[in-house]
Amino acid sequence: MKKITISDLKKKSIRYIKGVGELRESLFKKLGINNIFDLITYYPRDYEDRSSIKNIADLQNGVPCSFEGTIVSNVSVTRPRKGLTLSKVSIEDSTGKITAIWFNQPYVKNSLAIGENYIFFGKADRKLNKLQIVNPVFEKSSLKDMKKSLKILPVYSSTKDLGQNTIRTVVNEAIKGIEDFELEDMIPDAVREIHNLADKTYAIKQIHFPASAQDMERARFRLAFEELFMLQLGLLSYKSLATCTRVGIKYTHIEMESFVKSLPFQLTNAQKKVFMEVEKDMESSHIMNRLVQGDVGSGKTVIAVLALFKAVKCGYQGALMVPTEILAEQHYKSIRSLFDSFGISVQLLSSSLTKKQKQLIVEELKEGKTDVVIGTHALIEDYIQFKQLGLVITDEQHRFGVRQRTILTEKGQNPDVLVMTATPIPRTLALILYGDLDISIIDELPPGRKPIKTYSVNESMRERINKFVRDKVKEGRQIYIVCPLVEESEEIEAKSAVVTADDISKSVFSDLNVGIIHGKMKSSEKEDIMKKFVSGEINILVSTTIIEVGVNVPNATLMIIENAERFGLAQLHQLRGRVGRGDEQSFCILFNQSNSKVSRERMKTMTQSTDGFVISEKDLEIRGPGEFFGTRQHGLPELKIANLYKDMDILKLAQNSAIEIIEADPGLLEHEVLKKYLSMYFGDKVTLS
Ligand code: ADP
Ligand code: MG
């Protein structure tokens, strides 16, 4: 068989496929499908099992299934009102009778003949012992056709303009096109044999059009294994590169007590424990590569502060990289005030600086006059150089890729690395997802925190909520209103920040000071707004998710989230973490505009728990890890089929195989193909040498 590689398929446009013209090409693009490879790895999200034929008497309410029956009445076509046709027919088998109804499909009349047998597929509905099925699909059941109709059909995530059947046909054509080739397999033969993995071409074909449920399972196992194996391999090779091969700074033990005493609060036990772990890493000759995980508000910043203090007092410089300018500014202010009386100089590298100011900071960093620099990813720019960079910290690490972290560390001589994240994930998963890091967890909130009271409401509560807002303002408190979009979009009817701010400042809250902040504003504008909010000048801040990370204004005690159903639970949890930061009782109001059961369940989770770990577990349970665990947010390649939650067993197998390979062949010198695919998956995030 002729071989074909994934790169070949990536180079091939879907225009090569029969039935795909300019229009369809653009519709597929909207689904993120740009080439043949994207298409054949656009895995089904579900299947319609048409493979087992049921007796009519055994049909269950709402369960999709197939049955075979004889047409025993003429098809009646009626037009109950304009624009609506109803076609109705009775079907029988030896066990019972069912009525089939089609809406606006008058042509079915021509396809069904009385006395003939057909196979139907759909969801039956049993009401008062009467069976009915709406819009079933059907095929004539002669022996020849039987085989064609009895199969498991893929169900894809589709769009309004690109229906299920179109996607099926196009994917089918694409698969026919590669059937006669042997797809290059990156999984080494030895690994494939041990785990009895299906070969790649078979797996791709069977995942889309499985011959049986077993074939589908076998294909899925193979493809999920492949993804997890590659993910593990990438992480492992990065870890061995980052830590084992190089020697790091061995910090001396210094007295920290007077500094700790100067902090405005007492450290919690969890903070003490975590800092001890950090201290131990810093004092060892290994390079520290540690992740600090802690729920929003658990007090991660002070861990960074302590580590920076230690680094500077031992003669090194430190850098703190954060995802937004707002956060950089905020950290700068609080950290500078803590360090002031200890002779540590802190600088903020902000994009709003003039060229001259920037130049000065750059020079002072290079000369070692500045001890600590805080900034966004501007810190990784080439022109930023250090005299003696010994500690690199990234806050809210899920916003940065592995690569960005690496670039920053390369500005020093094997500096220690600390990353902080508030994305709560179960420990077992964290170990795997952050395969390249050691983990510390702050599992305790500072004392005296009152749990945020959360309510899920609908539009009928609007007036009451507006009154509540007013009451809070009268008490001197401030309010966040979070909206999903920046500007009103025709496609998505979600409340935009711009429109909302405009609206409320002209109507209900025209007497209050309403501010707006979103990602499309200039950083000087954002800064200005945040200053006004921090000082209390702005009563109500309308915002996008830009405030999700790190913003700390303890006087804000009420958050209203519009279209809460549009956010992931983890994100809602992050957002909600912006209130409840002081001694006052705080509130979070979720406007849920969806009636779906899933939405209601998700809102319930939010109202019942304030524990990020509980919420993340629930999130997984309700909607699966696809979105929540989107590996992309961790700077890792996307998982298209594997499920980090459900596929824990496969993950372990894949991890073991990956460890064996890396241990035996660290540079993957004997695994050429694997090496090639690894750099393709991880892009430049992983470099094997
Ligand atoms: P996060 O983990 O979300 O980054 P922060 O470090 O921003 O949390 O801390 C949240 C708030 O809690 C800040 O106002 C901080 O000053 C305060 N805080 C942190 N640690 C303690 C503590 N041990 N006791 C009291 N307040 C604390
Ligand atoms: Mg923080």
pLDDT in tens, 355-403: 999 999 999 999 999 999 999 888 988 899 999 999 999 987 655 666 6
Q: Is the predicted pLDDT of residue 523 greater than 90, yes or no?
A: no
Q: Residue 678: what pLDDT?
A: 86
As a whole number of angstroms, the distance between CA 617 and CA 615 comes to: 5
Ligand 1 atom, smallest distance to 266 CA: 23
Q: Residue 401: what pLDDT?
A: 60
**Ligand showing the shortest atom-to-Cα distance for residue 324:** 2
Q: Is residue 642 within 8 Å of 228, Cβ to Cβ?
A: yes
User: DSSP state, 526?
Assistant: H
As a whole number of angstroms, the distance between CA 12 and CA 34 comes to: 9
- Residue 310 C-beta-side C-alpha neighbours within 13 Å: 27
Return the bridge partners of 140, or none: 118
Q: Is the CB of 12 under 6 A from ligand 1?
A: no
Q: Is the predicted pLDDT of residue 647 greater than 90, yes or no?
A: no
Q: Is residue 135 within 8 Å of 105, Cβ to Cβ?
A: yes
The token pair that represents 135 in the structure block: 């819009």
**Ligand showing the shortest atom-to-Cα distance for residue 442:** 1
Q: Is the CB of 435 under 6 A from ligand 1?
A: no
Q: Is the predicted pLDDT of residue 244 greater than 70, yes or no?
A: no
User: DSSP state, 637?
Assistant: P
Q: Is the CB of 685 under 6 A from ligand 1?
A: no
- The region of weakest confidence among 49-53, 187-191, 198-202, 665-669 is 49-53
Q: Residue 627: what pLDDT?
A: 44
Q: Is residue 564 within 8 Å of 572, Cβ to Cβ?
A: yes
pLDDT range class, residue 603, cuts 50, 70, 90: very high
Statement: the pTM of the whole predicted model exceeds 0.95: no
- The region of weakest confidence among 19-33, 426-440, 489-503 is 426-440
- Which of 260, 262, 265, 335 maximizes ligand 1 atoms within 8 Å of its Cβ, making it the mutation to test the pocket? 265
Average pLDDT over residues 110-139: 88
> Helix 325-339 and helix 301-313: axis angle, to 10°?
50
- Residue 105 C-beta-side C-alpha neighbours within 13 Å: 17
Residue length of the chain = 689
Q: Is the CB of 265 under 6 A from ligand 1?
A: yes
- The region of weakest confidence among 130-144, 335-349, 541-555 is 130-144
pLDDT in tens, 533-554: 999 999 999 998 877 666 789 9
First to last CA, the chain: 33
pLDDT range class, residue 629, cuts 50, 70, 90: very low
- The region of weakest confidence among 404-408, 431-435, 600-604 is 431-435
* Domain segments of the chain as ranges: 3-47+157-223, 52-150, 257-284+301-421, 453-609
pLDDT range class, residue 242, cuts 50, 70, 90: low
Q: Is residue 65 within 8 Å of 52, Cβ to Cβ?
A: yes
Q: Residue 377: what pLDDT?
A: 85
Fold for 52-150, please state it.
Answer: OB fold (Dihydrolipoamide Acetyltransferase, E2P) (2.40.50)
369 Cα–ligand 2 center, Å: 27
Q: Residue 493: what pLDDT?
A: 56
Fold for 257-284+301-421, please state it.
Answer: Rossmann fold (3.40.50)
469 Cα–ligand 1 center, Å: 26
Q: Is residue 542 within 8 Å of 501, Cβ to Cβ?
A: yes
Average pLDDT over residues 502-520: 92
pLDDT in tens, 212-222: 889 999 999 99
Query: For 453-609, which CATH class?
Result: alpha beta
pLDDT range class, residue 633, cuts 50, 70, 90: very low
574 Cα–ligand 1 center, Å: 15
- The region of weakest confidence among 36-45, 129-138, 270-279, 494-503 is 494-503
Q: Do domains 52-150 and 453-609 have the same CATH topology?
A: no
Q: Which helix (H) or strand (E) holds 366?
A: helix 355-367
